[in-house]
Structure 1
Amino acid sequence: MDAFTLIISLTLAVAGSFLYRDYSRFLRGAYAKYGKVVSIHQVFSSLTSHADNSTSQTYVKNGFYPVIEYPHEGGPVRFTAIDHLASGNFHVGDKVKLRILKTRRKHSRTCKTFIALISMISLLSLGMIGAAITSSIYISFGQVLLASMVIAASLSIMVLYQRDQDQHYIHELSHTKSGRAQLCIPEPAAFRHWKSALQDPVQRIKIRGSQLCGATCIGSALVMLSIALIPSIQLLLKL
């Protein structure tokens, strides 16, 4: 059996599994909608000075919060963004990008498949370095090229995943490159209603694209694994 080809196929399989399951699952629970500020709502708070820090950070005494309107299938929907970051920072007519999370977590968590992919990339890289240093390990030029492509693709997937997570889990008032204000809404009330954003064609393309690329990687890994096992199978048949 060609051990190096086996490692390449396993790395590709892990990358495919990550894309098909974990990345697409993240895309289903973290997405964006666009809206605009239609009015300002003043909210009076009765918090005392002894209130806990978590509550006092959520509300601002006599805060001026934006009423944001976003499109929906049944017509436009409005809600008041009651958050200490939003108080006094918006004006009527401002365009807002809403980043919606299915969870209330403020930090991303590394899944097991992500850790496994890092391990496989490290193992593949060590194999290439070992082959370059010692003559006892031989790998062909085609294997080096294929391994490099798999490592580059896997690293690109990891960077893209981390970037998407950073954009959704940073709960701070920020702005997009176009100047549009950006708000993060973790675990929104009535999530079934917000979930209608998954019908957005752009988000649907991202989810289907992630699943398609994952399935392609897994299929390619199975083909490579079969090729790596052929010598061993032929040897067993001769016995």
Structure 2
Amino acid sequence: MTSFRLDGRVAVVTGASSGLGAHFAVVLARAGADVVVAARRADMLATVAAAVEAEGRRCLAVPTDVTDAAACSTLIDAAVDGLGGVHVVVNNAGTGYGGRSDRDDLAQTERLFDVNLRGAYQVAAAAGRAMIAGEGGSIVNVSSALALATTDVPQAAYSASKAGLLGMTRDLARQWARHGIRVNALAPGFFSSELTAPLLAHERGAASVRAATPLGRVGRLDELDGPLLLLASDAGSYITGTTLSVDGGMAMH
């Protein structure tokens, strides 16, 4: 369907060096977008950029630490100056860990919030400025089913950071609607990725995921393609301020 296409648009994906971010970059390219890929690991970004270019689209790889506000502005400027604008932002950079809060490493917790919440806010703010000055656009904040539900594995800090993204999403959607900017959240359940690998490698963790997911399995990355494109493209032109759960029923359960 043509409304799901992104021809002539520029998309920025953070946390694009591996996992969901790398997958999202290629999905957006297949839909016709030129893509800016951003992450801290420059060597891995080069591989993702090559995959985007193999789809016939232009790609810029911009090493970026989202906890640095100036770097977030530089990233968006690179999209505007290098590819002609910014129309879609997938705010995907994130980190996580599990563990009981009464035994928590507060330095690790601070780093998690810096990346997952403050970093996402800084990217969104920089993108919002560019989109207000340009043609509007779509921001997709990648949250988590753990913002809406729990498992037997304690992950309070991660869940809190991802729940914070949902409040941020609603408020930014309200602020920027008059500028033609849609802001939504995508809340994946458990998918095989670098971030989830430690949890899924342990029988207790894998069993917890199955028990918390009514469909009883880990998701396939391609099952995120349609939801992502719905929020990023004109197919979702009347959707803003919402959270789309793609979690095998986990939030319901």
Give me the TM-score of the superposition, normalised by structure 1.
0.26
Q: Which has the higher Rg, Structure 1 or Structure 2? A: 1
Higher relative contact order (CA 8 A, sep 6+): 1
Give me the TM-score of the superposition, normalised by structure 2.
0.25
